Amino acid sequence: MGQNAEQAVRTDIDIAEILARIPHRYPFLLVDRAEDYQPHKSIVGIKCVTVNEPFFQGHFPGNPVMPGVLIIEALAQTGAVLMSKSLEVDTEGKTIFFMSVDNARFRTPVRPGDVIRMEVEVVRARSSIFKFKGVAKVGDKVAAEVEFAAMVVETGPKA
């Protein structure tokens, strides 16, 4: 009984739980797994980028680079997983939606074979609205950084 509740929280999140927590599916699911989950505080999302990603066909032939907006989307999906788990969102009647993007910066291209480590932390949380800061890294290089917000929205039961 020496463990407190915070120590007992599972910090790794597998793909099955990600699929249960956010509505995104291939080819738009951009988080493969997550680790270092701290409720209401932070999470690290992992995306293994492969040459088979559909966007590489046109971005850019002969010089494949992951679009920056998709890196931001991957960070946002990671934030949505953090929100969903922290708030125990009922995914049958609610969805987490992007609200804003601020101060986006792109530093290093992401290419096939890279593993993106998406460090997302909560800057502010008020009820069903969270403000985040996210940094996407490949190795020790920052690929992108952004501030963003999301909210839980009532969507009704799934059809």
Q: Which residues belong to the active site?
A: 59
d(CA 59, CA 29): 18
Exposure string for 54-86, b = 16+ CB within 10 A, e = fewer: eebeeeeeeebebbbebbbbbbbbbbbbbbbbb
Under 8 Å between Cβ of 44 and 35? yes
- Between strands 129-138 and 141-154, the pairing is antiparallel
Under 8 Å between Cβ of 104 and 124? no
In one-letter notation, the amino acid at residue 127 is S
